[in-house]
Structure 1
Amino acid sequence: MTALGLMGLGVMGANLARNLADHGVQLALYDPAAGVAQHLAQDLGSAGTACATPEALVAALAAPRTIFLLVPAGAATDAAIESLLPHLAAGDVIIDGGNAFYRDTARRQAACGASGVHFLGFGVSGGAEGARHGPAIMAGGDRTVLERLAPTFAAIAAKAPDGTPCFARVGDGAAGHFVKTVHNGIEYAHMQLIAEAWQLLRRLLRLPHEEVRDLFARWARGALSSFLMECAVRALDTMDKDGTPLIEHIVDTAEQKGTGQWTANAALEYGVAAPSLAEAVHARCLSALKDMRLAMEASVGAPTMAFAGDVKALVAALERALLSANITVLAQGFALIRAVDAEHGWGVDPATVARTWRGGCIIRSTLLEPIAEAYAAAPDLDNLLRDRVLWRRVTAGDAEWRQVVVTAVAHGVPVPVFSASLAYVDGLRTGRLWADMIAAQRDIFGQHGFARFGSPGRHHADWATLDLTSPAGGS
């Protein structure tokens, strides 16, 4: 019988323990909070053994031992590893199943490897319900070790529509945690797009709550089908105690835990254009300025103007725009994974990532299947928007997408991710952009040089001196 140690028995850890126990895994349990391990062990019956210390947790397992960590990222993870390492032997395995910064994972792999202990980074997505009934698991690390552990984690993972387990080794090193980070960055942008659509429907078009709810429900059954759209429908279905929609009582601020920022920072660090992912993070930062926004509205007025156009046409346009923008967000996320993987040599297969995301994870949607097919057909595809099938789906809603953005801007409704996604698509298909003016300015003030058409190497110019103290054309 497979045996695992579990350290960290909060909601995620406890639910994962129940999932593992359901699949015949014998568990040794430890949590620093008094009584937590004992309570869960009682709940699991013969499948769980409570341990009072990290040393006891290790002692309860036969070599080679595998211990799964589900503790908060950062210092808590380092502390957990430090408490285990003195009691582990070469060949033992530590799995970090939390949201971890990928450079921390690489550092921990090196530190554990010095003692012969294997350290694996598992990106686990699906929340508490996923942990209990089947998450998506993006595993990173040593291939041989993961092949030994794969049957256990494939068994507890979610199943894609075709029945394939949503567990995969996505690459070497810290690949698992980086792929999960980008998953979350995509999640931020998808959520923001749904929220922007909600804002336009409810607060610009002023459609009745029930009509917006029914519209979202229809979208959730069609080309826009996704778990996040289902969440939006559930949000609109829920009523407060007084019978009014609960969402109307929720303060319009959204918190964040850091993975969106990690994604945006990685895009900047590696020079990858991912404006939609970054704007989704900025939008949350802007949402946090609630007091300032209220004060500004009171002093200068809200920008939103009354809509006097064709409501039905704009609703139809919004559906097409949302599909196009969602594909564009995924294209940026996969482009970032490809760029960082090329730098670190993890060997990430984008088709495998897309297949793993088809079930269990937060961004699961019907779009993942054609993306997996695109990468399976062209493994070296440098951007998803270069796939003809996906490009046709994006541009099929081109006019409608522009209609949505123009209408929003004209009426003072901020739609940062709809706008950034459209600008990304337009920039990607424009052969000559505005950067010639940027290159000229950089050479003028900093002698940074520029490239010339038909002439290799870097060039400098003897830029004309303009007397800004005299009128243009003056003596």
Structure 2
Amino acid sequence: MQLGMIGLGKMGGNMTERLRRADHEVVGYDHTPGKRDVDSLPDLVSALSAPRIVWVMVPAGEPTKATIEELAELLSPGDVIIEGGNSKYTDDQVHDVLCREKGVGYIDAGVSGGVWGLENGYALMVGGTKEDVAKAQPIFDALKPPAPHDEAGEEMPGAGFVHAGPVGAGHFSKMVHNGIEYALMQAYGEGYELLAAVDLIEDVPGVIASWTQGTVIRSWLLDLLVRALQEDPALDRITGYAEDSGEGRWTVEQAIENAVPMPTIAASLFARFVSRQDDSPTMKAVAALRNQFGGHAVKAVQAQEAEKPA
């Protein structure tokens, strides 16, 4: 099958390679000349046979919006755009209206798998019409992980791919997925910190590695933490600054809008905000209050600076 891929970075580039290994023809475009097969979006569209399928894998927000607006003018009725970045689901609904006015189909695809997707496959959550999804199904089948089998050797349906609903459902599902991811990473991080804080535990990386088999908390994220600790046992080579890419915030916003209690995911999001503060104003206020009502000692800035290693 033929596909146009726009955006050949870490995700788009690896997805392109996985599709080519599955004998699909991919025409790639990227702003970086050395990566691309064609020099412009018009060239990309011209290189594809109708009905065309074009996958957009560029940063969410204005880059995605501008790309889809240009594609909608270039493509023909019956063609399909797949938007696979980390866009907000409400943006998809706006893009869908724009595309439908031109007779172009639109699918939003939440994609999970990171840099490991090339070898392991990508989990795909898509939104769109049944007709549009069916047109792109061979592409989704090549990208998703191999299906697991039950005890009788029968392939188990559903694993790694879902048509979640109409346009917006794919990115909404990925948004919730990433919110859960925030909470899982926070829990593993807190467990690591407690293990490292006590003298009783002599092999922190070993304890965490022991959890990867036979326990109820084993997961791919835990495997990745083990890998990180093998490379840097005390995590001395990195800082504790953690960004958020938007999905965690959007998940909490939707929880509020729909009156769904989500204390764990919300706390993990706020913990990332705390990670960006060298000297938390909140904790300054807490220290000052403890001093005011209880006479508890506070550490002066000068003393704190003097204790820092040279």
Question: Scaled by the length of structure 1, what TM-score is found?
Answer: 0.56
Contact 2:274 2:280 in 1 (8 A): no
1:209-260 superposed Cα distances (whole Å, 9 cap, x missing partner)? 52x2222122111221101111111122123xxxxx3513432221111111
Question: Structure 1, residues 422-453: CA drift from partner, whole Å, max 9, x if none?
Answer: xxxxxxxxxxxxxxxxxxxxxxxxxxxxxxxx
| Aligned pairs (5 A) from 1:80-159 | 80-159=67-146
| 1:107 Cα offset (Å) | 0.8
Instruction: Name the SS for the 1:119 alignment partner.
Output: strand
| TM superposition shift of 1:288 | 1.2
Residues 132 and 52 from structure 1, CA distance in 2 versus in 1: closer, same or farther, beyond 3 angstroms?
A: farther
The residue aligned with 1:227 is: 220
Where structure 2 has 5 or more consecutive residues not aligned to the other structure, the ranges are 150-154, 288-296, 300-310
Structure 2 distance, partners of 1:132, 1:15, is 9
After TM superposition, give the deviation of residue 132 of structure 1 in Å: 5.0
Task: Structure 1 unaligned segments of length 5 or more: list them.
Answer: 38-49, 240-244, 302-475
Q: Which amino acid aligns with 1:108?
A: H
1:218 aligns with 2:207: no
Identify which of 199, 210, 223 aligns with 1:206. Answer: 199
Measure the CA separation in 2 of the matches of 1:232 and 1:62.
Answer: 44
SS at match of 1:35: coil
> Which of 277, 284, 287 is the equivalent residue of 1:289?
277
Shift of 1:36: 2.1
Q: Which residue of 1 aligns with 2:23?
A: 24
Counterpart amino acid of 1:95? I
Q: CA deviation at 1:293?
A: 7.4
May I ask how many residue pairs the two structures share in their alignment?
281
Q: Is the 8 A contact 1:102 1:177 kept in 2?
A: yes
Question: 4+ residue stretches of structure 1 with deviation over 4 A?
Answer: 293-297
1:189 is matched with 183
Does structure 1 retain, via aligned residues, the 8 Å contact 2:252–2:262? yes
Distance 1:289 1:107 in 2: 36
Name 1:261's counterpart in structure 2. Answer: 249
Distance 1:214 1:273, change over 3 A: same
Cα shift at 1:196: 1.1
1:274 is matched with 262
Q: Does 1:55 align with 2:42?
A: yes
CA distance in 2, matches of 1:182, 1:17: 26
Q: CA deviation at 1:143?
A: 0.8
Q: How large is the Cα RMSD of the aligned pairs? A: 2.1
Find the structure with the greater CA-based Rg: 1
Deviation at residue 32 of structure 1 after TM alignment = 2.0
8 Å CA contact 1:133, 1:156 repeated in 2: no
- 1:172 has 2:170 as partner: no
Quote how far apart the aligned CAs of 1:173 are: 1.7
**CA–CA distance in 2 between the matches of 1:248 and 1:160?**
39
Does the CA-based 8 Å contact 2:73-2:102 persist in structure 1?
A: no
Q: Specify whether residues 295 and 182 from structure 1 end up closer, same or farther in structure 2 by C-alpha distance, changes over 3 A only.
A: closer
1:236 corresponds, among 226, 229, 239, to: 229
Supply the distance in 1 between the matched residues of 2:94 and 2:59 (Cα, whole angstroms).
17
Amino acid at match of 2:210: R
In structure 2, what is the equivalent of residue 34 of structure 1?
Answer: 33
CA distance in 1, matches of 2:139, 2:167: 21
Provide TM-score, normalisation by structure 2: 0.85
Question: Contact between 2:89 and 2:172, CA under 8 Å: does it hold in 1?
Answer: yes
Q: Is the 8 A contact 1:69 1:95 kept in 2?
A: yes
- 2:72 and 2:98 in contact (8 A); partners too: no
1-side partners of 2:144 and 2:134: how far apart? 15
Give the drift of 1:25.
Answer: 0.5
The equivalent position to 1:300 in structure 2, one of 278, 298, 303, is 298
Q: Give 1:160 deviation, angstroms.
A: 4.8
Percent of pairs with identical residues? 38
